[in-house]
A = this chain, B = another copy of it.
């Protein structure tokens, strides 16, 4: 089953566009887990997955939070990926980029070694740094287009012949989408840009939308501008706002409640 089919299946099955970010952080996960468990990080991820697997369409694992733990982090990454139910999408958020010869190795690492359904990649190197990822036709590569951070505009807003860079990147994403396996990353914190990009990409390219919750993106405009005509094809991510909703023994219950609230609010605007 390819990425598109899996996305369609789980969006319908769980009636959800919500993606939960499993951004494990030693400073934020409940203290008691470190006392009670031999494997506190995995215990945390397992509990969050158990509590939310009927609510989400995807889990996103940001590589930074695993790399910082060194070898232990990669064991954790592998165990977490194996624990996620097969019907739910796994997005590995690594924002990788390199020259063709090396990008091929990253593509193999993420799609084969780690077995992700989808990844994030950075477009700065141009087409030949992107193509090796697109050779995995059944997967999805979400290309950074407009990021959610405050400085996103430093380069992404520069105008080239009256078109901002992020819009030129969007045009390229549409051009590169020969195998129907491109996606775009667009931050919910920039609703106008989200609107422009969705319009440019048409109805058939999925968007990965971070930036709601702690980062402040608005849910109604995210759904309005981020989804396609069928009110699908947007994967709306929240990490900290859900998984760290409580830092006490009720953390999994609190995560479930926050995820359910967010899923329902998203659906309200669909």
Contacts and interface: CB of A to CB of B under 8 A. Distances in A.
Contact of A71 (B78, B97, B110, B168): B78
Contacts of A216: none
A222 interface: no
Contacts of A158: 158, 160, 165, 168
A151 interface: yes
A129 B155 CA distance: 12
Number of copies: 2
A128 B102 contact: no
Name which of A65, A70, A112, A124 has the most chain B CB atoms within 10 A of its CB. A124
Contacts of A5: none
A109 B64 contact: yes
B68 A113 contact: yes
Interface of A: 23, 25, 62, 64-65, 67-71, 74-75, 78, 95-100, 102-103, 105-106, 108-110, 112-114, 122-129, 144, 147-156, 158-161, 165, 168-169, 172, 215
